[in-house]
C-alpha cells in the first residue's frame, strides 16, 4: 500500500476501514478512515497512528516512503485507540522513538499501554523543532477527551486536528476537492452531532485559537482532508458550536398499536400549521445516530412512547440515554404517549430530559386509542404553548 503526498515531504499513511458500520453505537454507513501522517524532515515524525487491526496497512504505507525504524518522533494528538492502537506495534520497531503528547495525553497513554516508552509532554504554545519545520501545539481539552491537542506545522500551514473536522467516510479519495462536498459536509455534521456536540463551548475556544493561524490544509484523523474548503468547514463548526436554533421541530416516537403515532402526527401538524419545519422520525426506522444529526438547529424535541409494563418502550429508553448523554443545550421538549392504566413513562422521560437541561414545556398522555376530540384538545394546548 502506498503513501499519498499531502504536501512536499508530508504524506498520508493512514488506513481505510471500508466495512466499519458501528463506532461505539454510531452507525457509520460509509465506513471510516484513520488518518496518520508522516513528515520527512531531519527528525522523521509520525503524527497519530491507526486502529490496532489496521497496523499492517499503516506500516506498509510508511514503508513505501522510509524504513519505519527511522522514525524519531510519534505525535499522539489524542489517546483514543482508533489513533493509538498501532502504537505498541510501531514501538516494537522503534523502541527509542520519542512519543509527544499533551500532559494528560502522556498520562492516558501510560494508563492504556503500561509501557516505559520515552515520552515528552507538550504544553499549549510549545514548539517541537523537526529540522526545517516547527510543529506548534495547542491543547484543546474536551474536544472531545481531556487529552486532545492540535499540531500546527507552521512552514506548511497544515493543522493536524485529529478528531476535530473529521467525518466517518471511507473512500479512495483523500481530499475535499476529489469527493462530493455535500456528502463530506453531511458526514462532518453527523460526526459533530454524535461526538463533539457536548463540548461546543470547548470547540468555540479551539476555534478562537485556530483563528490566529494561517491554515491551508486541515489534516484531520477521520475521512476526507480539507484543502479547498477549509473556510467552509471552519464556518460550519462556528455555526454548530454556537448552538443556534431555528423554527424546526423533531417528533421522535415509537408506537405499539399506533396510538402514540396518531399523537405524533397531530403534534407534527400543529407545528407545521405554525410554519415550523418538522421531521417525523420513528425509532423503528431511524438509527439514533442519524436522529442526533437532525437535532442540530432544532428548537423543539418531541419524544413519544406508549407505556409498556409501566415503563417506556426499550427503543425510547435507548434513544433517551444517547440524547441525554450528548445533551444539546437550549432545547424545548414535549413528551407524549398513550397508556392503558398507568402513564408513568411520561414522567420518567420528562425527568431524564429535565436532568439533562431540557425545558420540558408539555407532557401529554392519552388513554388507549386517541379520539379526534382528545387529539384536538392536545393540539390546542400545545399550540398555545408554542405561540407563547
Annotated catalytic residue 112 = no
Do 280 and 310 meet the contact criterion of CB atoms below 8 Å apart?
no
What is the radius of gyration, based on Cα positions, of the chain?
24
Q: Which of 48, 78, 156, 192 is catalytic?
A: 78
Nearest residue by C-beta to ligand FEO?
80
Nearer to ligand FEO, 122 or 143 (CB): 143
Minimum distance between the CB of residue 217 and ligand FEO, rounded to whole angstroms?
Answer: 19
Q: Evaluate whether 130 touches 165 at the Cβ level (below 8 Å).
A: no
**Rounded to whole angstroms, how far apart are CA atoms 34 and 30?**
13
In whole angstroms, give the CA distance from residue 276 to residue 322.
Answer: 25
**Catalytic: 238?**
no
Is 199 annotated in the active site? no
Q: Tell me, yes or no, if 179 is annotated catalytic.
A: no
User: CB-wise, 78 or 248, nearer to ligand FEO?
Assistant: 78
Nearer to ligand FEO, 83 or 189 (CB): 83
Q: Which of 24, 92, 285, 373 is catalytic?
A: 24
Q: Residue 57 or 82: which CB sits closer to ligand FEO?
A: 82
- Torsion angle of alpha carbons 353, 356, 359, 360, nearest 10°? 10
Cα distance between residue 267 and residue 263, in whole Å: 6
- Catalytic pick from 48, 176, 199, 222? 222
Nearer to ligand FEO, 201 or 381 (CB): 201
Residues 154, 376: Cα–Cα separation, whole Å: 63
Q: Is 355 exposed, middle or buried (0-12, 13-18, 19+ CB in 10 A)?
A: exposed
SS3 38: strand
User: Could you confirm whether 168 is annotated as catalytic?
Assistant: no
Minimum distance of ligand FEO from residue 81's CB (angstroms): 8
The single residue of 11, 191, 253, 339 carrying the catalytic annotation is: 191
Smallest gap from Cβ 27 to ligand FEO, in A, equals: 16
- Active-site residue flag, 222: yes
**CB 202, CB 143: distance < 8 Å:** yes
Least distance from ligand FEO to the Cβ atom of residue 136, Å: 21
Closer Cβ to ligand FEO, 78 or 331, answer by number: 78
State the minimum distance, in angstroms, from the CB of residue 82 to ligand FEO: 4
> Contact positions toward ligand FEO, by CB under 6 A?
78, 80, 82-83, 144, 163, 221-222
**Between the CA of residue 144 and those of 63, 79, 84, 299, 358, what are the distances in Å?**
31, 11, 15, 24, 22
Catalytic-labelled residue, pool 48, 80, 261, 348: 80
Residue pair 260/161 in contact (Cβ under 8 Å)? The answer is: no
Residue 41 or 163 having the CB closest to ligand FEO: 163
CA-based nearest residue to 179, from 23, 20, 59, 33: 33
Q: How far is CA 6 from the centre of its chain?
A: 24
191 part of the active site: yes
The least distance separating ligand FEO from the CB of residue 170, rounded to whole angstroms, comes to 14
Output the smallest distance, CB 101 to ligand FEO, in A.
14
Q: What CA–CA distance (Å, rounded) separates 246 from 108?
A: 39
**Annotated catalytic residue, options 144, 179, 192, 364:** 144
Cα 49 to Cα 35: distance, rounded to the nearest angstrom: 7
Q: Which of 41, 147, 156, 163 is catalytic?
A: 163
Q: Is 73 a catalytic residue?
A: no
Active site residues: 24, 78, 80, 82, 144, 163, 191, 222
Amino acid at each position: 500500500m502506498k503513501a499519498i503526498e499531502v504536501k512536499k515531504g508530508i504524506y498520508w499513511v493512514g488506513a481505510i476501514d471500508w466495512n466499519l458500520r458501528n463506532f461505539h453505537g454510531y452507525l457509520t454507513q460509509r465506513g471510516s478512515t484513520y488518518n496518520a501522517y508522516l513528515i520527512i524532515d531531519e527528525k522523521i515524525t509520525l503524527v497519530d497512528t491507526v486502529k490496532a487491526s489496521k497496523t499492517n496497512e499503516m506500516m506498509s504505507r510508511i514503508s513505501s516512503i522510509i524504513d519505519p525504524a527511522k522514525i524519531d518522533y510519534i505525535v499522539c494528538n489524542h489517546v483514543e485507540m482508533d489513533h493509538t492502537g498501532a502504537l505498541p506495534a510501531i514501538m516494537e520497531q522503534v523502541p527509542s522513538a520519542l512519543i509527544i503528547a499533551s500532559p494528560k495525553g502522556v498520562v492516558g497513554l501510560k494508563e492504556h499501554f503500561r509501557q516505559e516508552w520515552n515520552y515528552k509532554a507538550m504544553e499549549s504554545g510549545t514548539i517541537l523543532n523537526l529540522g526545517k519545520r516547527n510543529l506548534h501545539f495547542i491543547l484543546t481539552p474536551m474536544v472531545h477527551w481531556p487529552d486532545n491537542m492540535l499540531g500546527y506545522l507552521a512552514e506548511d500551514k497544515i493543522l493536524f486536528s485529529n478528531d476535530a473536522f473529521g467525518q466517518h467516510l471511507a473512500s479512495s479519495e483523500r481530499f475535499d476537492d476529489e469527493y462530493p462536498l455535500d456528502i463530506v459536509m453531511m458526514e462532518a455534521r453527523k460526526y459533530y452531532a454524535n461526538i463533539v456536540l457536548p463540548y461546543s463551548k470547548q470547540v468555540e475556544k479551539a476555534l478562537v485559537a485556530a483563528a490566529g493561524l494561517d491554515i491551508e490544509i486541515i489534516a484531520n484523523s477521520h475521512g476526507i482532508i480539507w484543502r479547498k474548503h477549509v473556510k467552509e468547514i471552519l464556518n460550519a463548526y462556528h455555526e454548530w458550536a454556537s448552538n443556534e436554533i431555528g423554527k424546526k421541530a423533531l417528533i421522535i416516537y415509537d408506537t405499539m398499536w399506533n396510538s402514540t403515532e396518531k399523537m405524533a402526527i397531530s403534534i407534527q401538524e400543529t407545528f407545521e400549521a405554525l410554519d415550523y419545519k418538522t421531521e417525523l422520525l420513528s425509532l423503528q426506522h431511524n438509527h439514533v445516530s442519524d436522529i442526533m444529526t437532525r437535532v442540530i438547529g432544532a428548537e423543539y424535541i418531541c419524544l413519544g412512547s406508549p407505556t409498556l409494563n409501566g415503563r417506556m418502550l426499550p427503543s425510547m429508553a435507548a434513544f433517551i440515554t444517547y440524547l441525554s448523554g450528548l445533551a444539546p443545550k437550549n432545547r424545548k421538549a414535549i413528551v407524549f404517549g398513550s397508556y392503558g392504566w398507568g402513564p408513568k413513562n411520561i414522567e420518567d422521560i420528562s425527568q431524564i430530559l429535565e436532568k439533562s437541561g431540557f425545558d420540558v414545556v408539555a407532557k401529554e398522555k392519552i388513554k388507549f386509542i386517541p379520539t379526534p376530540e382528545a387529539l384536538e384538545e392536545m393540539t390546542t394546548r400545545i399550540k398555545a404553548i408554542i405561540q407563547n
